[in-house]
Structure formats: C-alpha cells, structure tokens
Amino acid sequence: MLQDPTKEGRFGEFGGRFVPETLVPACMELEAAFKDAWADSLFRTELNDLLRDYVGRPSIITECHNLGAQLGIRLLLKREDLNHTGSHKINNVLGQVLLAKRMGKKRIVAETGAGQHGVASATAAALLGLECKVYMGEVDVKRQALNVFRMRLLGAEVVPAMSGSRTLKDAVNEAMRDWVASVESTYYAIGSVMGPHPYPWIVRTFQSVIGDEARVQCRDLLNGEDPDVVVACVGGGSNAIGIFSGFVDTDARLIGVEPAGGAAVGRGVPGVVHGMRSYLMQDEYGQVQEAHSISAGLDYPGVGPEHSHLASIGRAEYPSVTDAEVIEGFQLLSRTEGIIPALECAHAVAWISREAKSMQGKTVLMNLSGRGDKDVAQMMDILGPTL
C-alpha cells in the first residue's frame, strides 16, 4: 500500500502546505478532524454503508474479450463508470461531505472540470443536507452543459470562472478564494489528490477503495496473480492513485496517462500551485502555463504530489497521448465492447492500444473511471459528419 505523508504533508520532496496564514488553522483543523473520523468505526461504517447501498460498491471487473483479442492482451476494466453519478468521484465526495457534517459545516464549495466532481458534490450535498456551490470554468460550462444542468437540478449553484483560461485551474482558484472568505461555515471539497496538506492524503484515502477492491478481484480472477500492468488517466490524479494504491507493492507496472497538452509530469518541473509543491507546467519565469486537453477533466497544468513522488522514484510512469489518439480510443472501446468511456478514460484506452505490441500476452488492468454520456454532445460535433 502507499505510504502516508510526513507530518509536514510531504511525499518525498512534494506536497506540503503553501497557503495564506489565514488558512493554516483551517488546514490543521481539517487534518485533526480527518484523523479522528478515520479512527472512528462509526464514521467508517456510515461511509461503507453509503458506498454499498447508495453508490453500488463494489464496482465490478469486466473482461474485454473482443478488444483484448484484437490487441493480443488480456484486458480488464475496473468499472467505476457504473457508480451512482457515473464516475469514481462519488467515493471521495461522500467521505468529505460526511466529514464536513461531522465538523459542523453548513455549506460546501467545490471545483469541477468535466463536471463529474461537481455532480458528485451536488449529489452528496442533497443527500446529506448541505448547501453546495460549484465553480466551473466558463469554457467547461459550455462544453459540459449536461453536467451543469444535473448540478442545478440537484440544487447546487454553479458559478462560471471567468479568469485565465476559464477552465479547471481557474475554477480551483475561485473555490479557494471562496473558502478563504467563508472558512468558518464552509468546507472545501477538493475533487482530486491535489491542494495543500491534508487534501492529497484525504482524497487518496477515500479513493483507495478502488485499489483495495481491484486487488482482491484480480487475484480471484487470475488465480492469485496480480495484473502485469495497471493503467489510468491522470489529470490531478485521483482515479489513478486510487487504483495504484492496491498494486504499488506488487510487481505491476503503474501507468498514469496524461494528455499531451497537459503533461505535467512529462514536461513539467517542480513548482508550487494551489497550495502544493508538485510537477507543474511553467515557463522560464515560473509562471503557470495553460494546459490543454480534449477532456475537460484533464485540463490541468499540475498533478497531485504523490504522483510526482512516484514518478521521481521511478515507481510509476507517466506517458502522454494526443487528442487524435484519444478520439480513436473513445471509438475503439465503444465499437469493440459496447462501452462508451469518458474522454478522460479514453486517454488510457489510447495508450493501451498504442503500446499493445510491447505487451503481448500480458494482463492489463485499466481503471474505467467514468462513463461517456457527458461527452456525447462534444463528440457529436467532432465525429458527427464522419459517422
């Protein structure tokens, strides 16, 4: 299993808590509250009951017989797309909103890119009786209109972020500003393994249910063996760290697939953004560069600090794929298996398809972290004339 951070919130040289002085007490309060909750069997039981009875866990493993045969590998999918709300995000959000209630907070704020974390946040807030405000880049509001409507239907206020590139990075900025101004009554439910300590640790802990389940499921399916390769897409990196957590102490290769236009590990350098030290796309003057991805959920110039640590010690690899490869991967899984993946997950499909010749006969486990319903309108504009 993955190691806990140091008391300073570090994973190797990465992580930490780079926030204004006004937020240091809030971060320390959150760390203490999380440790107390995670040690409380009643909290754990309530969360596990919700994951089972509301989310539908454990999520299943599906073997892709058609695509696996075509590529010459044994391909297994961890089906987080089958969760209530359609992605892995609900695992983390239910834990954080339960924690917010335990801390006496009355409202939550969240950021979202593709909208899945926003939908999960709005869902958990509706279920557990908290107010919810979601910040979303104006560009993403337009390309993910379905998820915007879902959030509003669930009772959340959706606020477009109008600054910068008007995408995920800017939504995070706005959510953090809100939290600074209203910290006494507000809980900031971060959606990925990013931000100041203790957030990367909290989110990884809640998402580790993916890897815990997958390890047991794979060993049952593979006669006690582990997969040879474990693959997931990476933006901030919560779905990837979730599944990696179950296999980091095995011999499996860990592959986190980044978008070519947002390859924070692949072409970034260490820097500080959103309260953490991590690999970050920045120019020679230390200014954050704009990321690009066909997928709103991966449109982020940094990556979670634990991923930066895994890359720095050589335990995980972080290749990238192009938008064109992603479009092909999106169609490939749809046509061979009848499963439409989220564009985020199509990055992992694209890498597997591209690298299959070097993995002949291997067993590959991919985290299918979300379904593609949210991306259909966008892909209709791209593919419509050709289909």
Percent of the chain surpassing pLDDT 90: 90
Q: Tell me the angle at which helices 41-50 and 89-102 cross, rounded to the nearest 10 degrees.
A: 140
Report the half-sphere exposure of 204 (CA within 13 A, side-chain side).
25
* E strands, the chain, in order: 10-11, 14-15, 61-63, 74-79, 107-112, 131-137, 157-161, 186-188, 229-233, 253-259, 269-273, 276-280, 316-317, 320-321, 363-368
Structurally, the chain folds into a number of domains equal to: 2
Residues 231 and 346 in one domain: yes
Residues 161 and 273 in one domain: no
Residues 215 and 346 in one domain: yes
**Within-domain flag for 4:** no
Q: Give the residue-averaged pLDDT of 337-361.
A: 98
Residues 139 and 192 in one domain: yes
Residues 326 and 242 in one domain: yes
**Within-domain flag for 3:** no
**Within-domain flag for 225:** yes
**Within-domain flag for 267:** yes
* pLDDT tens, position by position, 68-109: 999 999 999 999 999 999 999 999 999 999 999 999 999 999
Which burial class, exposed, middle or buried, applies to 180 when counting CB atoms under 10 A from its CB (0-12, 13-18, 19+)? middle
Residue numbers of the domain that contains 16: 11-50+89-199
Q: Give the residue-averaged pLDDT of 334-356.
A: 98
Residues 220 and 318 in one domain: yes
Residues 225 and 373 in one domain: yes
**Within-domain flag for 41:** yes
**35 Cβ contact partners less than 8 Å away, ≥ 6 residues apart:** none
Residues 170 and 234 in one domain: no
Of 171, 199, 227, the residue at which a domain comes to its end is 199
For residue 239, what is the domain's CATH number? 3.40.50.1100
Residues 124 and 155 in one domain: yes
* Residue 290 confidence (pLDDT) above 90: no
Q: Give the residue-averaged pLDDT of 289-317.
A: 93
Give catalytic residues, as residue numbers: 64, 88
Of 199, 218, 249, the residue at which a domain comes to its end is 199
**Within-domain flag for 148:** yes
Residues 179 and 315 in one domain: no
* pLDDT tens, position by position, 244-266: 999 999 999 999 999 999 999 99
**Within-domain flag for 73:** yes
Q: What are phi and psi of 169, to 5 degrees?
A: -55, -40
Of 140, 174, 199, the residue at which a domain comes to its end is 199
pLDDT number for residue 229: 99
* pLDDT tens, position by position, 12-34: 999 999 999 989 999 999 999 99
* Residue 1 confidence (pLDDT) above 80: no
Residues 156 and 279 in one domain: no
Residues 71 and 145 in one domain: no
**244 Cβ contact partners less than 8 Å away, ≥ 6 residues apart:** 2, 211, 230, 232, 254, 256, 310, 316
List the strands of the sheet with 276-280, edge to edge.
Answer: 10-11, 14-15, 276-280, 269-273
**Within-domain flag for 2:** no
